[in-house]
Every structure is written in structure tokens, then in C-alpha cells.
């Protein structure tokens, strides 16, 4: 006699290991309306590490804790989190634990993004550039009869070359296509940035550039950094290794330290 679907469901749930910050348990109780193990897991506050028949499930409390730690300290990796869980539960660490945790964490982020997306719609927070126009209340909100300022916004823009991405074409290897897309309105995609790549052209003769030509009257021995300052120099004086597909990120921030926009430097 073949087992019923309810017996099979109970058998599948009994094989799932539930991982929390301070304890490990198993055998969550399923409801009659649940057809799949992940329905029962999310009902009890866990996310399975596989779409159909997970063997391990991570608690939402653990995923939320890691998300907030990683937000305040981005160097705290998933590997470090998994090793910490292994120490707490006194079990040996194995590399496959990171893949299980990463699968559950990706699903958690997708759930959070989907919930936020549904909440923004009735609040009219899903309009284009809503985050840009509402990130800083002091900069973008206007009061009735407020006097007009000479500059409405004070924005700083700067780049950073610490987040480089190696170009796979250097060694004639197959490029790994990254299908991930940012879920934030802060991020500007390569297609949008590429529309302006021809607006600023590099000058062939550096002598035509008037940057730094105006003499600066200083006392001998003072302000020696002026002659070495190259941050605002001509574009032809700034070079980046061609081995990198992405040389870093470029951000715009208001005077109150709120990030407004960000993009990759390709």
C-alpha cells in the first residue's frame, strides 16, 4: 500500500534540520493546507535551503541577525557567520554550509524586497527617482513661504577604485554573465550611464588644458602638496589598468551624508 500524501509530508519534514542561533531542532508540525515543506517551514519561521525538498532550514531570526550585522560591518561574510554557528552548536565546519546559508539568505532578501515593493505601491513610493527626491528631508523638502536659496542642493560626487572587477577577456576566458540586478533606486545601471559616455571627450594635447595653469602665490616651503595634487587633473593624466572591467564605484551624496545615487565605473 502506497503512503498517503500526509504521511509523505510528515516523513519529509522529519528529515529537515532546523538551524537557529542557539539551538537545532527538527520535525515541524505541518498543517492540512500545506502542500510543500517550505510552506510549513515559513509558517514556523524558517526558510529552506532548497526549493522542493530541503534537508536544512535556517530560522528567520538568524537571517535577520546576519543581515543587520552585515549592514553595519560589510566585512562580516557568510563564511564567518557559518563558522560562528558551528562554534555555537559545537559541530565541525564544512564549506557546503556556506552554500546552504547563502541559498536561504537569497530567498530571505527576495521576500523582503517583494514585501517592500507591495508596501510602496499604495504609498506612491514607487515613482521614478522617489528615493533620490526623499532621501534627505533637509535638502529636498520645502516649507511654505520658504525663501529661495542660491543653491537648492549641495551634492558631492566622488569615485573609489577599491572595488575592481577583473576583465575575463584578458586571458581569453569565457565571461561570467552576472544576471543579478540591484533592487534599489539608488543604483544606476550601465545602460543608463553609457548614454553620457560621449559628452566628455579627452583632449589630445595636455597643453590645451588650463587646469593648474594659474599660479599660486605661496611662501617657500609651505603648501607643498599643491604641486602634487592630481585629483582634478586632466583626464589624459588619469589612467586605469585595462585589465579591469570595472575600476570601482562612483557615488553622489548630499551635504548631510545621505547617499543619493551610485554606479559602477566601467
pLDDT value at 2 more than 60: no
The stretch 20-25 carries a mean pLDDT of 81
- What is the tens place of the pLDDT at every residue in 166-192? 776 666 667 667 677 777 778 888 787
Rounded Cα–Cα distance for residues 193 and 172 (Å) = 26
- What is the tens place of the pLDDT at every residue in 34-76? 788 888 888 888 999 888 888 889 999 999 999 999 999 989 9
Higher pLDDT, 207 or 65: 65
The stretch 217-224 carries a mean pLDDT of 52
- What is the tens place of the pLDDT at every residue in 122-173? 888 888 788 888 888 888 888 888 888 888 888 888 887 777 777 766 666 6
pLDDT, position 200:
64
pLDDT value at 241 more than 50: yes
pLDDT value at 221 more than 70: no
For residues 159 and 265, the answer to whether their CB atoms sit within 8 Å is: yes
For residues 251 and 259, the answer to whether their CB atoms sit within 8 Å is: yes
In whole numbers, what is the pLDDT of the chain averaged over residues? 77
Instruction: Tell me whether strands 187-188 and 259-265 are parallel, antiparallel or unpaired.
Output: parallel
Q: What is the strand order of the sheet 24-26 is part of?
A: 24-26, 17-19, 56-59, 46-48
Spatial CA neighbour of 104 closest among 48, 158, 33? 48
- What is the tens place of the pLDDT at every residue in 88-133? 988 999 989 999 999 999 999 999 999 988 988 888 888 878 888 8
Q: In this structure, what C-alpha cell is assigned to residue 6? A: 500526509
pLDDT, position 180:
72
pLDDT value at 202 more than 70: no
Spatial CA neighbour of 202 closest among 232, 161, 229, 237? 237
Strand partners, 187: 262
pLDDT, position 10:
54
Amino acid at each position: 500500500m502506497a503512503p498517503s500524501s500526509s504521511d509523505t509530508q510528515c516523513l519529509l519534514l522529519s528529515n529537515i534540520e532546523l538551524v537557529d542561533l542557539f539551538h537545532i531542532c527538527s520535525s515541524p508540525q505541518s498543517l492540512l493546507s500545506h502542500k510543500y515543506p517550505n510552506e510549513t517551514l515559513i509558517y514556523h519561521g524558517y526558510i529552506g535551503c532548497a526549493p522542493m525538498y530541503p534537508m536544512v532550514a535556517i530560522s528567520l531570526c538568524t537571517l535577520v541577525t546576519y543581515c543587520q550585522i552585515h549592514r553595519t560591518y560589510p566585512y562580516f561574510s557568510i563564511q564567518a557567520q557559518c563558522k560562528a554557528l558551528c562554534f555555537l552548536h559545537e559541530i565541525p565546519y564544512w564549506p557546503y554550509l556556506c552554500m546552504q546559508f547563502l541559498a536561504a539568505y537569497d530567498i530571505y532578501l527576495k521576500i523582503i524586497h517583494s514585501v517592500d515593493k507591495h508596501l510602496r505601491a499604495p504609498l506612491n513610493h514607487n515613482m521614478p527617482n522617489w528615493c533620490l527626491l526623499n532621501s534627505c528631508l533637509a535638502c529636498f523638502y520645502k516649507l511654505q513661504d520658504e525663501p529661495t536659496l542660491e543653491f537648492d542642493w549641495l551634492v558631492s560626487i566622488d569615485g573609489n577604485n577599491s572595488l575592481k572587477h577583473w576583465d575575463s577577456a584578458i586571458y581569453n576566458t569565457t565571461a561570467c554573465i552576472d544576471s543579478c540586478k540591484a533592487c534599489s533606486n539608488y543604483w544606476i545601471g550601465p545602460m543608463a550611464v553609457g548614454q553620457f559616455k560621449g559628452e566628455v571627450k579627452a583632449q589630445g594635447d595636455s597643453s590645451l588644458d588650463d587646469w593648474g595653469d594659474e599660479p599660486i602665490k605661496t611662501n617657500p616651503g609651505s603648501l607643498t602638496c599643491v604641486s602634487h595634487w592630481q585629483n582634478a587633473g586632466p583626464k589624459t593624466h588619469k589612467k586605469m589598468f585595462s585589465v579591469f572591467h570595472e575600476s570601482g564605484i562612483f557615488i553622489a551624496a548630499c551635504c548631510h551624508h545621505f547617499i543619493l545615487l551610485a554606479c559602477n565605473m566601467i
